[in-house]
Amino acid sequence: MSVSEGTTEKRAERLAEARKKLRDYQSKHRNENVEFTLSPSPSVSSMIENSGRRSAISLQVCNNVEMKDIFQKVQTGSQDSLSAAVQSAVNHISGTKSSAQNSDFKDKFQQDRTSELYSNVPEDLLDLKQECVRLREELALRTAEKGQFSSQFAELIGHYSQIHAAYTKLSEYIKNGDPSGSTLQTQLVHLQTAMSVVVKEKTALHQQLRQKNELVMDRNKQICSLTTEMREKTSYITSLENEIVSLRRKIDSLSNTLQRQVEEAENSRQEAINWQTKMLHMQQDRDDAKV
C-alpha cells in the first residue's frame, strides 16, 4: 500500500469519526428534555430581568469569546483543540436554551400566586353583611317603636293639658265661692287623681322614649361602623383583583419572553451545529491540502 493511499485512508477515518461525533451530538441535543424550575420567591419583574440578563450575557460571551477562540484554533490547525472549542461553544449556547413548558409555568405560577392572594381575602365579609342587614332590621323595628312611644307621649301631653286646664278652672270656681262647691270639690279630687296617673304615665313613657332613643343611636353607630368596615374590605378585595389582573399580564409577558428566548437559543444552537459542520469540513480540507 502506497503512502498516498494510507493518507487517504486515515483522512477518511478521521472524517467518518468527526461525522459520527456530530451525529451523536445532534441526537443527544435532539432528545434531551431539561426540566426548567422557577423559584416562587422572586418577584415577576426580577425573574424577567434575570432571565433576560442571563440570555444576553450567554449569547454575548458565546459570540465574542467562544467563536473568536474557535476561529483562532482553525487558523492554528489544532484538531483536538478545535473539537473541544466547538463542543464548548455548542454546549454554552445550548445552556441558554430554556426547555420549560410555557403553559405549565404559566398555570403553576398563576395558580400559586392567585391562591396566595385569595387566601388574604377576609372570610368574614359575608358575616359582616348579614350582621349589617340584621342591625338595619332591628333599627327599623326600634325606630317604629320610638315613633309609637312618641305618639303616645304627645297624646298624653294633650290629655295632661286638658286636665290641667280643667283643674285650674275648678280651682278658680272654688276660690270664688261658687254655690256648687261640694260638687266642684269632688270633681277637683277626681281631676287630681287623674293628673297623678297621667304624670306617672308621662314619666314612664318619657323614660322609655329616652331608652329607645339611646338604643337607636347605638344601633346607628354599629351600622355606620360595619358599613365602613365593609367598604374597606370591599376596596381591599378590589385591589387584590386588580393585582391579580396585573400579575396575569406580567405572566403573559414573561411567557412571551421565555418563548422568544427558547427560539433564540434554538436558533443559536442550530447555528453552532452548522458552524461545527463547516469547521470540520474546513479542517478536513486543510488536512487534504497539507497532504
Domain assignment of residue 256, yes or no: no
Domain assignment of residue 237, yes or no: yes
Q: Say if residue 100 is in the same domain as residue 156.
A: no
Q: Say if residue 131 is in the same domain as residue 219.
A: yes
Q: Is 33 strand, coil or helix?
A: coil
Q: Say if residue 129 is in the same domain as residue 66.
A: no
Q: Say if residue 87 is in the same domain as residue 151.
A: no
Q: Going residue by residue through the chain (291 aa), what tens digit of pLDDT does each one get?
A: 454 455 556 666 766 666 666 666 556 655 544 443 333 333 433 443 444 444 444 444 444 444 445 444 444 444 444 445 445 544 544 454 444 444 554 455 455 554 554 454 455 667 777 777 777 777 778 777 777 777 777 777 777 777 777 777 767 766 766 555 566 667 667 777 777 777 787 788 788 878 888 888 888 888 888 888 888 888 888 888 899 999 999 999 999 999 999 999 999 899 989 898 888 888 888 887 876
Domain assignment of residue 78, yes or no: yes
The residue among 249, 269, 229 whose CA lies nearest residue 92 is 269
Q: Is 77 strand, coil or helix?
A: coil
Main-chain dihedrals φ then ψ at residue 78, nearest 5 degrees: -85, 110
Structural domain count, the chain = 2
Answer positive or negative: Cα dihedral of 196, 200, 201, 205. Answer: positive
The residue among 182, 157, 187 whose CA lies nearest residue 170 is 187
> Can you give the pLDDT at residue 154?
78
> Can you give the pLDDT at residue 249?
92
Q: Is 154 strand, coil or helix?
A: helix
What's the CA dihedral at 255, 261, 262, 267 to 10 degrees? 150
Q: Say if residue 170 is in the same domain as residue 138.
A: yes
Q: Say if residue 176 is in the same domain as residue 66.
A: no
This prediction has a pTM of 0.37
Q: Which domain holds residue 43?
A: 3-119+261-290
